[in-house]
Amino acid sequence: MRFMELSKNYKVLVRYDGSRYGGWQKQTKSPTTIQGKIEAVLEKMCGCPIEIAGSGRTDAGVHANGQVFHFKAAVSLQPDEIQNYLNRYLPEDIAVLSVETAPERFHSRLSAKGKRYVYRIWRSEIPPVFERKYVCNLRKLMPEEKEILPNVAAMKTAAKLLLGTHDFKGFTSLKKTKKSTVRTITALIIEERGPEIVITFEGDGFLYHMIRIIVGTLLEVGFGKRSAQSISQVLENGIREQAGFLAPPEGLCLDAVYYE
Amino acid sequence: MRFMELSKNYKVLVRYDGSRYGGWQKQTKSPTTIQGKIEAVLEKMCGCPIEIAGSGRTDAGVHANGQVFHFKAAVSLQPDEIQNYLNRYLPEDIAVLSVETAPERFHSRLSAKGKRYVYRIWRSEIPPVFERKYVCNLRKLMPEEKEILPNVAAMKTAAKLLLGTHDFKGFTSLKKTKKSTVRTITALIIEERGPEIVITFEGDGFLYHMIRIIVGTLLEVGFGKRSAQSISQVLENGIREQAGFLAPPEGLCLDAVYYE
């Protein structure tokens, strides 16, 4: 005899290596997405289709240290049993860090107050053996370039111009949209860590491709291909073509999502 | 017009992710070995077959942070040009850290004074997403075990018995050999680092499978499946069957080779 379970709202923290996925979001184009993998295991667990909602999409090849999603289901399992079940049946490159019940109104995307992303750049001529799937390797990006050491001081100066609240229309691949492209970047920290340059972004939200275009633009500044000043111009005129190139996905990781 | 080059002896430091290789050493059984990959690029560079000699073999799936090999060749390239050539043509999971000319008598194996190996054990129920190819995941090893937290204090006590000079005949998969199985372990350090237990071995040399059998034996002590004292017995009687299981290769990394 089974008791009828009331539907509950679950908040889940998940980590993944995005290398072999077509991104977070389920889509017809790519059969292998992180959302798809998780929903398949939840369906097996619940005995009926379950839809999960992530705090945001991550592109194909982008990783997450702490992505958040929520889903509603009526199950008799405890949160830690749900976590164990997921970790048992998910592939090795996806791991559930925690499962907790959340208030009915909790929504992983709508309730989010901010996010932190980390972008790792490899600037050494010695190839990144153990880190190769988690960094943007400059030598691979610029095989013919004589040297691959960007001017980090110049990048830091340029980064300051992006801090604060701006219309980032020029820093997104989004086609014309009626939604606001105004966002606030609360932290943009560039650190040198041996063979790596690590760029940490914090803000209330980020547009489609925004971080990867900012990284590409900062790298162009670092390699003397554009002035720091040109960034202010793109912030003003909102012309995507005047911003930098789209940095590759493998260096990017959604580090954390913040809630109240 | 090309000048005749004198043959020189080169010492090379190399890092690799052993996941997709059949080990260091060339063999007919496995078409993909690290030695084979490197020799193919050197042959391309030199225009004739080149044989390289490693400081020792690493098993299929074992990694190296600092493996050393040497080779003799007559080339007009400078050591840093050889390094660049190798890094350009080797696959992404093999990287050359340095190339230098060495005395004629230098031999990567015979001149080695000692080695350091690191074995990483994952003891958390949260699967190792980014580290999964570089750790021994206890949950994967023991899917039915109730808990996967070995008693590290007991492992440390047991490890002390292995320090120093012993006949490690019981701790190798080598069949009967005329060669000595006496080795000296100068350091065996067990550290807890968050979700990991990291075991560092230093010694004058290690027998075939010796580190992985020691790790398996220490884990059996940690899970209360054998006493620390049983280790002394195996050191005395040299019976392989009385030592522990062979720990999986992916947790093992040849960290460094020492020379005078």
| 8 Å CB contact of A125 and B95 | no
Place of tokens 């499946």: B225
- Our CA angle for B134, B210, B35, nearest 5°, is 60
Using CA atoms, how far residue A157 sits from A213, A229, B91, in Å, is 17, 10, 36
Chain A residues within an 8 Å CB radius of B146: none
Report the residue from A90, A95, A129 with minimal CB separation from B16: A129
The strand pairing partners of B258, in sequence order, are: B114
pLDDT band at B86 (very low <50, low <70, confident <90, very high): very high
Q: Identify the DSSP state of A110.
A: T
pLDDT > 70: percent of chain A: 98
| 8 Å CB contact of A129 and B87 | no
The residue type at B111: S
Each residue's pLDDT tens digit, A122-155: 999 999 999 999 999 999 999 989 999 999 999 9
What pLDDT is stored for residue B28 in this prediction? 79
Average pLDDT, chain B: 95
- Judge whether B59 counts as a catalytic residue: yes
Q: How far apart are CA A70 and CA A38, in angstroms?
A: 11
B159 has a pLDDT exceeding 90: yes
B113: exposed, middle or buried (C-beta count within 10 Å: 0-12, 13-18, 19+)?
exposed
A34 has a pLDDT exceeding 90: yes
| 8 Å CB contact of B127 and A95 | yes
Residue A226 contacts residue A244 (beta carbons within 8 Å): yes
Q: How far apart are CA A112 and CA A110, in angstroms?
A: 6
| 8 Å CB contact of A16 and B134 | no
The first and second tokens of residue A221, run together, are: 């500044």
Mean pLDDT value of segment B195-206: 97
Report the residue from A87, A97, A125 with minimal CB separation from B87: A125
The first and second tokens of residue A226, run together, are: 């554009």
Interface predicted TM-score of the whole assembly (ipTM), two decimals: 0.93
Mean pLDDT value of segment B190-202: 98
The strand pairing partners of A121, in sequence order, are: A136, A197
- Rounded to a whole number, what is the distance in Å from the CA of A36 to chain B's nearest CA? 18
Each residue's pLDDT tens digit, B213-251: 999 999 999 999 999 999 999 999 999 999 999 999 999
Question: Which candidate in B59, B80, B93, B204 is catalytic?
Answer: B59
Residue A54 contacts residue A37 (beta carbons within 8 Å): no
What pLDDT is stored for residue B100 in this prediction? 98
Most B CBs within 10 A among A34, A129, A141, A145, hence the mutation to make, goes to: A129
B240: exposed, middle or buried (C-beta count within 10 Å: 0-12, 13-18, 19+)?
middle
What pLDDT is stored for residue A4 in this prediction? 66
Task: Report the chain B residue with the minimal C-alpha distance to residue A98.
Answer: B126
Report the residue from B95, B125, B130 with minimal CB separation from A129: B95
The strand pairing partners of A196, in sequence order, are: A122, A193
The first and second tokens of residue B182, run together, are: 């006496």
* Residue A176, number of CB atoms within 10 A of its CB: 5
Residue B117 contacts residue B211 (beta carbons within 8 Å): yes
pLDDT band at A2 (very low <50, low <70, confident <90, very high): low
- Rounded to a whole number, what is the distance in Å from the CA of A243 to chain B's nearest CA? 30
- State whether residue B107 is helix, strand or coil: coil
The first and second tokens of residue B242, run together, are: 């009385």
The first and second tokens of residue A223, run together, are: 């390699």
Chain A residues within an 8 Å CB radius of B92: 127, 129, 132
Mean pLDDT value of segment B143-149: 92
The strand pairing partners of B203, in sequence order, are: B115, B185
Mean pLDDT value of segment A203-228: 97
Secondary structure (DSSP) of B12-63? EEEEE-GGGSS-SS--SS-S--HHHHHHHHHHHHHSS----EESS---TT-E
Residues in B lying within 8 Å of A, measured between beta carbons: 15-17, 63, 84, 87, 90, 92-97, 125-130, 132, 134
A9: exposed, middle or buried (C-beta count within 10 Å: 0-12, 13-18, 19+)?
middle
- Rounded to a whole number, what is the distance in Å from the CA of A181 to chain B's nearest CA? 33
Chain A residues within an 8 Å CB radius of B87: 125-127
Task: Report the chain A residue with the minimal C-alpha distance to residue B139.
Answer: A88
Chain A residues within an 8 Å CB radius of B97: 126
Q: How far apart are CA B17 and CA B92, in angstroms?
A: 9
| 8 Å CB contact of B126 and A97 | yes
A11 has a pLDDT exceeding 70: yes
Each residue's pLDDT tens digit, B56-65: 999 999 999 9
Residue B131 contacts residue B120 (beta carbons within 8 Å): yes
* Strands annotated E in chain B: 8-16, 53-54, 63-73, 94-102, 114-122, 136-137, 164-167, 182-193, 196-203, 252-258
pLDDT band at B104 (very low <50, low <70, confident <90, very high): very high
Residue A226 contacts residue A220 (beta carbons within 8 Å): yes
* Residue A114, number of CB atoms within 10 A of its CB: 16
The first and second tokens of residue A58, run together, are: 């991550």
B29 has a pLDDT exceeding 80: no
